Structures are given as structure tokens and as C-alpha cells.
Chains A and B, each alone.
Chain A
């Protein structure tokens, strides 16, 4: 072992100015360096399998997705001729392209119709401008009937959108291999006909608001968690070990219980004909018609998520509070501070690291949450994650889903760096 080599150093002549060597005569410095290098290699070799595994199964998918948010290969791939020819066209003018470009378009459409690929271009451009989908579908069906030039006339006759300069400006703008439009759309922005970036029509703005809501609700959940976690962590840390070991099970059991189980039970508790409403009706607190809506809205999401995330707040707080000697408080009291003052001025500052760790942890988990908001969130309790899922499986706008995911990831990474600064990832503990 490396340590052994370093240990077998023979100190030849400590008093003289000779260089130190090991038993086989190698200078000690060289030998130590070699040992260190070997030691480093050995450590890296042990880490390498997992590193590669994470790289392939986890990081590459994420980088792949980053790329998807700018990927626009559909255009150069399936409209190659038109895209190339359009390079010379001036989109700032008021003239639609001339016959040569229309001829390229005709060839692209014809080939795309045969291979059944031109619809992908339509779908892609329809995200930018409604109506493109049907334009390309119609063109696919009818292009076979066009035989002779001039193609410009024939195509415009087939669908007047081919004579609209904005159609051409759009194709011109989105002709490259990469596009900005998904990332812009994720910020409620778009590029207008003249190529300048502006805010999305107010009635269609949603994502900025949604990010805001996600952050705001996560903050609220974090604060509620802190308020609830602080007293019980304090109690746990002051009770004798035997008692606190039993009480902490009440925190750890929810932690180990499947989050779907916990979400299910909140549905059973909170729904209109659920346990709590039944109880309230039975107690005559609310009337039969006045049952409270506590689920499928913000309230439901917040209650269920506070419950799910509370252990993540209690555990770091508890582990910090455990280390605060009770003598601090006693000292403060004996120096004349009243209990409240002693608590605020002496005890609380000592718990700040725990508060920081717990809050950042809960906040990070909360902003990326998907399952609970999806099940109990209704419409006003959903998070940005739910929209990422929606764009993947329902609207099929994968580019936009990727862009939104990247924004969310960026927020999480910033928080993670903050967490590293406050707690240090090496000090992360579980259970």
C-alpha cells in the first residue's frame, strides 16, 4: 500500500545535509511524490466506475436536453433547398421571394410529401405562428398536382399564405440549425415579424408568472416548515435521549413513508367528502352545502407539501440544536436576561446554520416538485414542473419543455451552490 511505502523510509543521516533516501536509494522527495501519485491514481480508479456511470446514465441525458432546447435541425434537414436559397433573400424588404426560391420550395415540398416528412416542418413552424401546420399539410396533399413552372404562381394559388411575406420572414428567421425561440418562449417572449424580440401577447404570458408562483409557493412552504419544525426540533433537543429517541420516530416515519402514500392520505383527509369535511359537518362547524374546498387548489398543495417536506427541515435543525450546550441559556438567564430575550439573543443565533441548511434543502426540493402538485394542485396549485411534463406528454412541444427545464435547473444550481457555501456538500447527512 502507498502508506506502507512512505512508512519504510530510512533516515540515512539526519544530521548531515545529504538528501534523504529510501531503503533502495531513491531520493525521499521523489519516492513520496510517486507514492502520492499512486495514491491519487488509486483513489481515482475507485471513483471512476461510478463517475462514468453517472456521466452516461444521468449527465448525458441532461446535456442532451439542453441541446434540445435550441435544436432546430428539422428546418435545414427537411427544407434544405429553400433554407439555402433564402440566404440571399432580404427579409426586411416588402417583396416575397422570386421564382427561383419558389422552385426550391416546390422541390422541398415534393420530396417532403413523398417521404412524409414535410409535416414536421409544419408542426415546428406552427409553434411560432398558428396556421403553418395546415399550410404544410395542404401543400403536402396538393403539391403532387403541380407539374409545371411557374411554381410561384401555382403555390400561391394553392394557398395564399405562400404569398404572405410573414410566412417567408418566419422561414427565413428559423432557417438555421439552432433556434432561440424556445428559450424566449420560456420567458414569455417572442420574435416579431421584423426580427426584434418583444414580450409575448399579454393574454398568452404564463411562464414568468408560473416561475414566480413556483418560487413564491416554495418560499411559503419553506417558511411554514420552519415555523413548524423549530419548536419540535427544540423540544427533541432538550428532552432526555430516551424520550427524544422515541419522539423522533414520529418525524422519521413520515420521512420513510412513500410520498404517494402521504399524498393519498391528504386526498382522503381534505376532499369535499373526506374525513375533515365530514368531521366539520358532523360538528356543525360548516353546513352540508358549505363543505370547504381544501384540495385541488393552492391550499391542498401547500398542506400536503409542508407535511412531506417537514422532516427535511426538522432533521438539520435538530442536529444543530443538539450541539448547543444548555449552559448558554442558563448563563444568559443568570446574567439577567428574561427567557424570551435569552432565547432570541443567545439561542437563536446558534441555530442559524441549521435554519440555513433546512430552508435551502426544503426550498430546493420544493421548487422541483411534480407529483404532489400534479395530484392535488388543481389549476392554481401547479408548479413549473407540471408544465414541463405537460409539454412533454401532452402538447409535445419538446423544445419548450427543455427550455423550461433548463431555467428550472439553473435556479436549482444557484441554490445548490448556496447550500454548498452554507453547509458544504461534504457535510450532507441522511436520516
Chain B
């Protein structure tokens, strides 16, 4: 954004100071995430840069902690559990959440606000409270310390995200499309699969991604509802940080940053596609 010709010197100085300030804030946001990447290639078990690393000596870098991650059984179990739990809870959350969003987007829903309040409550209630409640209650149902327990808990925590994203996709939904489809002789089923599904699909997918990330990152509920057998990557990281903080955690963190980048790209692409489809400018 070029400055107009009429700006005063003071404004000019402010303009550039402001940009520097913003630059610093962006740096604060992104630096902690980037700094762990080189640190994870450390040769020594410390959380700091060695002189060899700073002089870019290849001797100063190693894949030691990645090797540890890929060979350690505890971490492998954690990766497996993380994916199993995230995938199944995402499936449940996406299915139930999409149905509910379709219901909520209809023109006449009695007690809509109250229902919405209940449906998104898992997002509002602090995790420690959900975790505590689930710990006691799931113990009674025989679900504490089981994969099913953790999956159900995570599904409950992720549904609000699906409901919100799918509802948002349906906001601009043109009801006349359904009528047009019916008038043209399509059965409700055909209408659903040919008209509704393609339109809400981006919302469903990004809702599912949110659900996946919610489960994949979640640790408080796993700590309480799960047990050692259900340890996930965050569980393992949490207990690692609390006990013996080895750079393997940094290697895992680096891999998770890559996962985050992939997820972010997907969601952004979907969002832009969705807006394009609905005739809005990408923003």
C-alpha cells in the first residue's frame, strides 16, 4: 500500500513504525513454531543451539531424535492410537454433526437457540471440567481406560465444530434449488445426493478436519478418560514434558507442525472453493 503524496513526515514515520511493530508481533506468532525445527536436529540432548549448529557445520545436525521417535515403541503406540481415535471420533462427529446441521438449517426449528446451546456446549465448557465429569461417569459405564471411551469423548468434543461449519455453509443455501429439483422430477434422495451433498461437502470436509484436529490435539480428556493403553501423541508429549524432556519431543513437534501446515492448506483451499462456488470473492 503506497503512501499518498500528501502524507506528512510524522505520518510517514508512524507508518513505518507501525509496520515494524506489526512485523514484531508476526515474528512473536511464528518464531516459536519455526525455532523448534532446527532444534530438533540437535546432536546433543539439550534444548539449545550448539556452536556447531550456529556455524552450520553438518556435524552439528543429526537425525538422532527422529530415529528415536520412529523406533521407540511408546511413540509408535501413540501414533497408532492418535490416528485410530481421531479417525473414529471424526466419523461419528461428522455424521451426527452434519445431520444436526441439516436439521438446524431448516426454516422452522422449535427451540433453536436452546438446542444450539446444548449442541455446542462441549466447545464452551472448559476441558478440565469435561474431563473430570467424563472420568467419573465413564468409569461407571465401564468406558474409562478403553478406546471406545476416548473415541466417544472426542466425538462429543468435536461435534460443535462440525455443526458450526456445516451450518455456516448452509446459511446461503438457496432453498429454491431443492424445489427446482423436485419440480424437475427428482426424488428427495436424488435431490439430497445431487444437489445438497455437493453444496455442503466443503463445509462437511472442513468440519471433519476441525473434528480430526480437535481429537488429534486433545490431551486433557485423554489423560483422564484414557489410560496408558490409549496414550496418544499429545499424551506422550505431555508426560514427556512433565518428566524427562528429551529432544525427541521436538522431533515430534516438528512433524506435527508439518501436519498443521497440511491441514491449514486443505482448509484454506476448501474455504476458497466454497466461496467461489457461492459466487463470493475469495477472501
Binds B, one of A10-18, A81-89, A105-113, A243-251: A243-251
Q: Are A43 and B103 in contact (CB under 8 A)?
A: yes
Contact check: which of A238, A258, A322, A430 meets B256 at CB < 8 Å? A258
Most chain B Cβ neighbours within 10 Å, of A64, A401, A425? A425
Q: How many A-B residue pairs have CB under 8 A?
A: 283
Indicate whether A260 sits within 8 Å of B119 (C-beta atoms), given known contacts A231-B21, A247-B26, A408-B126.
no
Please tell me if A284 contacts chain B, counting CB pairs below 8 Å. no
Bound-state CA distance A235–B48 (Å) is 34
Bound-state CA distance A260–B213 (Å) is 13
Residue of B nearest to A412 (CB): B126
Binds B, one of A1-9, A20-28, A130-138, A166-174: A1-9
Indicate whether A57 sits within 8 Å of B156 (C-beta atoms), given known contacts A40-B108, A43-B103, A238-B1.
yes
Which A residues touch B103, using CB under 8 A?
42-47
A 54-68 contacts with B by CB, 8 A: 54-55, 57-62, 64-65, 68
Interface code A230-264, partner B: CB below 8 Å = 1, 0 otherwise? Answer: 01100100111100010101111110111111111
Q: Are A307 and B241 in contact (CB under 8 A)?
A: no
Interface bin, chain B? 35 or more
Bound-state CA distance A36–B107 (Å) is 10
Interface code B217-246, partner A: CB below 8 Å = 1, 0 otherwise? Answer: 101100010000000001001100110010
Please tell me if A274 contacts chain B, counting CB pairs below 8 Å. yes
- Least Cβ–Cβ distance between B244 and chain A, in angstroms: 13
Please tell me if B70 contacts chain A, counting CB pairs below 8 Å. no
Please tell me if B109 contacts chain A, counting CB pairs below 8 Å. yes
Bound-state CA distance A245–B281 (Å) is 13
Most chain A Cβ neighbours within 10 Å, of B46, B99, B103, B128? B128
Chain B interface, DSSP helix/strand/loop, else mixed: helix
Bound-state CA distance A59–B125 (Å) is 10
Bound-state CA distance A232–B23 (Å) is 8
Q: Are B153 and A39 in contact (CB under 8 A)?
A: no
- Least Cβ–Cβ distance between B220 and chain A, in angstroms: 5
Residue of A nearest to B283 (CB): A241
Please tell me if A221 contacts chain B, counting CB pairs below 8 Å. no
Contact check: which of A3, A68, A426 meets B175 at CB < 8 Å? A3
Q: Are A370 and B220 in contact (CB under 8 A)?
A: yes
Please tell me if A140 contacts chain B, counting CB pairs below 8 Å. no
Q: Are A54 and B168 in contact (CB under 8 A)?
A: no
Residue of A nearest to B267 (CB): A431
Bound-state CA distance A420–B188 (Å) is 35
Which A residues touch B14, using CB under 8 A?
339
B 94-124 contacts with A by CB, 8 A: 96-97, 99-100, 102-104, 106-110, 113, 115-122, 124
Which B residues touch A292, using CB under 8 A?
none
Q: Are B115 and A47 in contact (CB under 8 A)?
A: yes
Contact check: which of A258, A264, A392 meets B260 at CB < 8 Å? A258
Which A residues touch B99, using CB under 8 A?
46-47, 49-50
Q: Are B19 and A235 in contact (CB under 8 A)?
A: yes
- Least Cβ–Cβ distance between A51 and chain B, in angstroms: 6
Which A residues touch B164, using CB under 8 A?
428-430
Please tell me if B65 contacts chain A, counting CB pairs below 8 Å. no
- Least Cβ–Cβ distance between B243 and chain A, in angstroms: 11
Contact check: which of A59, A239, A385, A392 meets B118 at CB < 8 Å? A59
Please tell me if A193 contacts chain B, counting CB pairs below 8 Å. no
- Least Cβ–Cβ distance between B43 and chain A, in angstroms: 16
Which B residues touch A429, using CB under 8 A?
164, 168
Q: Are B122 and A264 in contact (CB under 8 A)?
A: no
Which B residues touch A247, using CB under 8 A?
26
Bound-state CA distance A259–B238 (Å) is 11
Q: Which 4 A-B pairs have the closest CB atoms?
A: A368-B126, A46-B103, A61-B133, A61-B137
Interface contacts beyond A1-B188, A65-B133: sample of 15 additional A-B pairs, CB < 8 Å, sorted by A: A40-B108, A43-B110, A46-B99, A47-B115, A53-B96, A241-B282, A253-B264, A273-B46, A273-B48, A275-B49, A307-B32, A368-B129, A409-B125, A428-B120, A430-B168
18 A-B residue pairs with Cβ-Cβ distance under 8 Å, sorted by A, are: A1-B182, A46-B103, A49-B99, A50-B99, A50-B159, A53-B159, A57-B156, A58-B134, A61-B130, A256-B260, A260-B241, A261-B253, A267-B47, A374-B242, A388-B128, A425-B116, A426-B116, A430-B168
